[in-house]
């Protein structure tokens, strides 16, 4: 079986990549974050809707706005991370469909859809884009620490007060301190997690 990328790339993206909670005091340049976006934006989403939105929280002021929303166990790791990405989704993503899916009037598929269905589509595809960001960041030499331990309502009030975007999860990004890693936890075997029918 021929694999189009080498084993080292697979190690970087998956086999050797770890979830980090401790960070080296090394800044992440804005250009590297832009490069990560320029990679992950090509990941597939339904009708190319691309509802994922990201706020890269870097400044001390922005970190302090985020602090009250963090679960106690996530405060130190987040405040010490060079960047914390708020992975969000746009509830009006369909307004961009004339640009993103010009082959048909895809906007009309969503514009009168019930709000809960729009949010379902946005959440699902925005979650995919969050995963693509993690892979893009790893491919560029960064480490990631995704997490759910935060108050969504407080985050949305602090960063998305108009209600058009909603937070999904957080991901600390930077250069992880490998000396603070614990042994990798197990994963399920194929037979425990998958079926071929």
CA distance 80 to 75: 8
CA distance 71 to 195: 36
Q: Does some domain include residue 12?
A: no
DSSP 181: P
Q: Does some domain include residue 151?
A: yes
Residue-level pLDDT at 4? 87
Residue-level pLDDT at 11? 95
Q: Does some domain include residue 168?
A: yes
Q: Does some domain include residue 156?
A: yes
Residue-level pLDDT at 3? 81
Q: Does some domain include residue 103?
A: yes
Strand ranges of the sheet holding 83-90, from the earlier edge strand across to the other edge? 52-57, 83-90, 165-174, 143-147
Q: Does some domain include residue 158?
A: yes
By residue count, the chain amounts to 197
Lookup result for tokens 């009250």: 68
Residue-level pLDDT at 196? 98
Nearest residue to 145 via CA among 130, 158, 124:
130
DSSP 167: E
State how many domains the chain has.
1
What parts of the chain have a pLDDT lower than 50?
none
Residue-level pLDDT at 20? 97
Cα dihedral 170→174→180→185 (10° resolution): 50
Q: Does some domain include residue 9?
A: no
| CATH code, 51 | 3.40.109.10
Nearest residue to 165 via CA among 173, 175, 155, 174:
155
pLDDT tens string 101-144: 999 999 999 999 999 999 999 999 999 999 999 999 999 999 99
CA distance 49 to 95: 9
Q: Which domain holds residue 30?
A: 18-177
Do 37 and 54 form a contact (C-beta atoms < 8 A)?
Answer: yes
């Amino acid at each position: 079986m021929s694999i189009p990328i080498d084993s080292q790339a697979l190690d970087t993206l998956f086999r050797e990549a770890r979830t980090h909670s401790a960070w080296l005091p090394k800044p992440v340049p804005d250009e590297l974050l832009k490069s990560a976006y320029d990679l992950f934006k090509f990941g597939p989403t339904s009708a190319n809707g691309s509802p994922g939105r990201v706020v890269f929280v870097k400044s001390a002021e922005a970190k302090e706005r985020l602090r009250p929303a963090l679960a106690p166990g996530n405060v130190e790791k987040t405040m010490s991370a060079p960047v914390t990405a708020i992975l969000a989704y746009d509830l009006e993503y369909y307004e961009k469909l004339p640009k993103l899916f010009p082959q048909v009037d895809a906007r009309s598929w969503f514009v009168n859809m019930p709000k809960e269905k729009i949010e379902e589509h946005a959440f699902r595809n925005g979650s995919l884009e969050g995963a693509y960001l993690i892979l893009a960041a790893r491919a560029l030499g960064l480490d990631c620490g995704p997490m759910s331990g935060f108050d969504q309502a407080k985050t949305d009030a602090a960063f998305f007060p108009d209600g058009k975007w909603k937070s999904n999860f957080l991901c600390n990004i930077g250069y992880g301190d490998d000396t603070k890693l614990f042994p990798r936890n197990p994963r399920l075997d194929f037979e425990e997690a998958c079926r071929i029918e």
